[in-house]
Amino acid sequence: MPFDIPSPPPGDPNWPYEMYKLLKDEGVTQFSYVPDAGLKVMINLSLDDPDVHSIPLTTEEEGVAMAAGAHLGGQKHVLLMQSSGAGNCINMLSLPRIGKFPFLSIVSMRGDFGEGNPWQMPMGKSIQPVLEACEVVCLKIEDSSEVISTVSAAMTMAFQSQESVCVLLSQKMLGIKKF
Amino acid sequence: MSDFTLDRNVVLPLLIPNPHDFLIVTGLAGPARDIVHLCGPNSSNFYTMAGAMGGAVPMGLGLALAQPDKRVLVCTGDGELMMNVGSLAVVAAMNPLNFGIICVDNGHYGETGNQISHTGLGTDLAVMAAGAGIKQICTVFDESDIGDAADMIKVGNAAFFAHLKVHDGPPANVKRSLDANYTKTAFRKALLGIP
């Protein structure tokens, strides 16, 4: 019996459920992650879903290489990570770049809109220019109304045009952690 | 260093007598050449790297999850594995039944001037793999160990780690393509029938 994606509890945002459904409808069957509060709902959906592989990583760059391996075997992979972890991926991004492997990551931002933990600011400010220096396409989402169109565009660019694409989820949408 | 005695060029063909029964991902440098030599440079059942250090195990894991009916091997060196040794814990967590790692450990960074590596200084990767939670571990330190390891590689029914200790002599002298896109396309065409 196929996995039924549940509805969000009353008052919770719907976008993580919509995004998860969109990824599954596109045929993504491997979800790797390094845990982050901003991606908690999607990570938990993948863990509850017997139709997909939910893969706990020890460092984010493993997800970059896994995605390439998944493509070798004919599956689609998405890496769920926080922006600080995107910095751990820089050298491994060589692999999708020179091999023209599809690479898609959903990145929850820290160190952007309204950040209260100064330790998060350096990578928050650096990550987009650093990723773009590595020829990764960065698509930023600041409002939940943009989720469907932006993630759809990202999937097309990754899986059809074989680009490396990061969808950056701003704290403007995710909400701001209090310190 | 006295237990780094085997010759990789002798041991690997005995461990993997039927290399075309596997899909193989290799790390950079020596193990890439080992596997190209073993399979034949015109074969399409391997993906070899010449960079992306630390990526071999997770790449092989992604392939193994995507192809549960094929046996998938990662063949990589001690330096490449140490670069991303946490990936052993990811393998243990997923425990794909069709997957295993062959670590060709020569205790040196052979590609960069033969500097002594951590395993040459005492780090034990088989113990680290066991500590990561990988259930099937096999050490191949002399020729009497080869038979059991070859059986595990062929028919093991859980993720495994085969630890080969070899001397620091050179790997096979073989030309291989360094074109990452070509190698990908050839692999996918052979396996999936699509580029």
In chain A, where the domains are located: 15-174
Q: Where are the alpha helices (DSSP H) in B95-141?
A: 125-132
> Inter-chain contact A69–B66, Cβ cutoff 8 Å?
yes
Partner-chain residue, chosen from A64, A72, A98, that has the shortest CB–CB distance to B188: A72
What was the ipTM of the complex prediction? Answer: 0.96
Mean pLDDT for the stretch of residues A61-72: 98
Torsion angles phi and psi, residue B35, rounded to 5: -75, -35
Rounded to an integer, what distance in angstroms lies between the CA atom of residue A167 and that of residue B77?
A: 34
> Inter-chain contact A65–B54, Cβ cutoff 8 Å?
yes
pLDDT of residue B2: 66
User: Are B21 and B157 spatial neighbours (Cβ–Cβ below 8 Å)?
Assistant: no
pLDDT of residue B1: 47
> Inter-chain contact B60–A69, Cβ cutoff 8 Å?
yes
Residue B4's nearest CA partner among B105, B103, B75 is B105
Mean pLDDT for the stretch of residues A154-174: 97
Please state, as a whole number, how many other Cβ atoms lie within 10 Å of the Cβ of residue B135: 14
Token pair 């950040």 is found at A115
Residue B77's nearest CA partner among B121, B28, B142 is B28
* CATH class belonging to A15-174: alpha beta
Residue A33's nearest CA partner among A11, A56, A50 is A56
pLDDT of residue B187: 98
Partner-chain residue, chosen from B63, B87, B183, that has the shortest CB–CB distance to A62: B87
Mean pLDDT for the stretch of residues A115-140: 96
pLDDT of residue B56: 98
Q: How far apart are the first and last CA of chain B?
A: 45
Give the SS3 label for residue A60. Answer: coil
Mean pLDDT for the stretch of residues B96-118: 95
User: Are B59 and B109 spatial neighbours (Cβ–Cβ below 8 Å)?
Assistant: no
Residue of B25, B73, B90 to mutate for A, most A C-beta atoms under 10 A: B90
Torsion angles phi and psi, residue B28, rounded to 5: -75, 170
Q: What is the pLDDT of residues B140-171, one digit of tens each?
A: 999 999 999 999 999 988 999 999 999 999 99
Token pair 């490449």 is found at B80
Mean pLDDT for the stretch of residues A144-153: 97
> Which stretch of DSSP H or E encloses residue B33?
helix B30-39
Which domains are seen in chain B, by residue range? 8-192 (3.40.50.970)
Rounded to an integer, what distance in angstroms lies between the CA atom of residue B160 and that of residue B162?
A: 7
Residue B116's nearest CA partner among B166, B164, B80, B168 is B168
